[in-house]
Amino acid sequence: MNVVITGASRGMGKAIAMKFAKDAHTLFLCARTKETLEKTAAEIKTTFPSSTIHTFVADLSVKEEVTAFGKFCLQHGTPDIVINNAGYYLPGNCIDEAEGTLDSMLQTNLYSAYYLTRVLVPEMIAKKSGHIFNMCSIASHKAYKGGGGYSISKFALNGFSQNLRQELLPYGIKVTAVFPGAVMTDTWGDFDNSSNRIMEVSDIADMVYAATKLSKAAVVEEIVLRPQLGDL
């Protein structure tokens, strides 16, 4: 299968890539930093030599670069699985966060998924198959102090997911919105997780992978994951 993953060089994106590489799929990995992306691709290839890895460096906050990545993927065939994982978090409140904060996070957290999907989905529609995952957040469901522009962008990504699900129903294309709570990524810095207070990236990867294993008659519309002890 052809598996497209954005934000693939680290964190959840990397863990998801590792999960699919284990089954010798063909991966199309995109990230902004060339060195990190190439290091991740080399690690995956060493661990799972039967996998095929294609990399593409792009800033997915820029529409033209999103489009270029999509066209690159299509040169190698129709995607079977698309995982819109690119995104980032800036703390702040709507009433006083820095000017441009919302615009910046909308460009990466929402528009990257929107524009990439628009490039890829016509071929998927023609094939009448495929599965699209949008990496939302618990912040897509519940506002919280300090969420600001980030929460707005993730609410919007959830809205995109719900609309896409309805639009693609007739074409056999599944859409799954993923809502992780706190996950141990670089965002948490040197947080001591020895007590397993927050989730591991492998938890998210395992659930995404599992959702692709259902029959054509079933779709997991939403995946909600929280730490066992609840949100922080």
Give the closest residue to 111 by CA, choosing from 161, 63, 175: 63
Reduced to 3 states (helix: H, G, I; strand: E, B; else coil), residue 57 is strand
Distance CA 89, CA 92 (A): 10
Active site annotation includes 209: no
Q: Report how far residue 72's alpha carbon sits from residue 94's, in angstroms, rounded to the nearest whole number.
A: 37
Q: Which of 111, 114, 150, 209 is catalytic?
A: 150
Distances (CA, A) of 134 to 44, 171, 226: 23, 18, 17
What DSSP element (H or E) covers 18?
A: helix 11-21
Count of residues in the chain: 232
- List active site positions: 150
